[in-house]
Chain A
Amino acid sequence: MSDDILSQLKKTSMFSGLSDDALSVLAEKAATRKLAKDDVLMRKGEAGDSLFLIHKGWVKIVTVDSKGDELIINRCGPGEAIGEMALLDRGPRSATVIALEPAEVLELKQDVFQQVLDQRPDVSLSIIRSYSNRLRFSTTYIERAIDWTQRIAEGDYSFIDHTQPGLKNTASDDDKATQLLSAFFKMVKSVKEREDGLKLQLEKLTFEIDQVRRKQEFEEITSTEFYSKLKEQAKALRQKRAQG
């Protein structure tokens, strides 16, 4: 069993650089967990005391927007580590992780993890490297978001049609950021389309004069004594001017 885990650990980006010797220390302490589709591996806000390494299948990293709808911020697959942030800074889980399909993960508990970190600087280094990758992805994500926001500020929505949210599990950070942001910017575009629709409606509305109200208001004004006198005087004035 431990050998099987060892071979799995070897395939993860965080530990692939470690010697067999170092890996076997970890493998001894790691446990396998199986997830069915839609199983929740961790919830945002929970206290976190383990690190997960994905062996099989894909999971989604999600957060919840103010309306309670799920917003996917990333997808992770075989070889990737999740939950390592809470392990290091002891903070609560920063996002919720849900299985997209039947998946298998390796779980490393915090005390084991800490032990390994103390003893093996190479493991620490490997973990720092994985943080660095995550940070790089965040930078790409933010850059892309800024670029698109600028285009929208300039009135260019055309690029949104060329993006597709989450069709494939691509490797490059750039493609991944594009897919993840695509869902959000499609929402922006639908807001814009709704607004355009309202403007069109406004143009059509120009035809909607309430003729009954028009007549009522006219009669309200013209039925006064002041008005009939004014009308007479105005008529006389017009005649005088015409002769003038």
Chain B
Amino acid sequence: MNKGKIVSIHSFRGGTGKSNTTANLAAQVAMAGKRVGVVDTDIQSPGIHVLFGLDETKMGKTMNDFLHGKATIREIGFLIGDHTGNVAGRSKLAGKNLWLFPSSISGREISQILKEGIDFNRLNEGLQTTITEFDLDYLFIDTHPGLNEETLLSIATSDILVIILRPDNQDLQGTSVTIDIARSLDVPNLMLMVNKALPKYDAVELKKEIEAQFNAPVAGVLPLSFDMAENASSDLFSLRFPDHEWSKGLRAVAEAILAVK
């Protein structure tokens, strides 16, 4: 029954490259032949859908309508392979099983959802229906930064939680709390991904230090990259520049996700 895994991607602070990472991870897992869905939690701001080449004006109904029973999940999913255009990286997704599920979970809407009684169980049922209907192997959720209620819901339902952090004190501090919460909510698989590491850092040392600090695996240390920043939000970087160090680090994280039993 519970075939597909829910993978939440989280970071305590903004600016860690979370949306970019989520889109690239989902794309890599789809490239590996898996059936993948991505829940874009914030279609109002440029995020995942832009990376996948989708225009928010074309997305009529959202996950919110589905959770409220106003739409079927079939009406929500966009097959990315049909919308890749001629963009170098993205066009590699043609024919792959990768769907985007737009949703809009702003602070106001979540409180509305909670008031209307869409609780954890209903959210979870919705996600399970999505997995079943599309026969998904993985459903990625791009969560909001911080630890507000909707993020806690996402973490609680996750089979795998990937926490992205930059190698600085503030991110480490916030990550420590997120890890404690994830353990308190019994998330079975927890992994860290270090992004925007200065090239000066010894990636192996950094991985060792952070793993020792949290007693949790670091699935990849990805460098701070100007190429990446320049390309950001126009294409899927890891598909466009597969030999780049950032892409190699990202694939290591994708492999860690694929390795979870």
Interface residues of A (CB under 8 A from B): 196, 199, 202-203, 205-210, 213-214, 217-218, 221-222, 226-227, 229-231, 233-235, 237-238, 241, 244
Contacts and interface: CB of A to CB of B under 8 A. Distances in A.
12 contacts: A205-B168, A206-B213, A209-B173, A214-B173, A221-B147, A226-B149, A229-B119, A231-B156, A233-B121, A237-B121, A238-B186, A244-B2
B173 to A, nearest CB: 6
A227 B159 CA distance: 18
B13 to A, nearest CB: 13
Interface string B163-201: 000011100110011001100111010000000001011
B84 interface: no
Contact of B167 (A202, A209, A229, A234): A202
Contacts of B180: 214, 218
Contacts of B152: 221, 226-227, 230
B173 A230 contact: no
B113 interface: no
B213 A209 contact: yes
A238 B213 CA distance: 27
A207 B153 CA distance: 30
Nearest to B1: A244
B233 to A, nearest CB: 28
B177 A217 contact: yes
A210 to B, nearest CB: 6
Interface in B204-259: 205-206, 209-210, 213
Contacts of A226: 149, 152
Nearest to A211: B176
B209 A207 contact: yes
B16 interface: no
Contacts of B188: 238
B156 A210 contact: no
- What secondary structure prevails in chain B residues at the interface with A? helix
Contact of B177 (A206, A214, A227): A214
B78 interface: no
A199 B188 CA distance: 35
Q: Which 3 A-B residue pairs are closest in the complex by CB-CB distance?
A: A234-B156, A244-B2, A233-B120
Contacts of A229: 119-120
B104 interface: no
B186 A235 contact: yes
B72 interface: no
A222 B181 contact: yes
B245 to A, nearest CB: 17
A22 B249 CA distance: 80
B157 interface: yes
Contacts of A237: 120-121, 124, 156-157
Contacts of A222: 181, 184
Contact of B176 (A199, A214, A227, A230): A214
Nearest to B180: A218
A205 B177 CA distance: 17
Contact of A234 (B2, B157, B213): B157
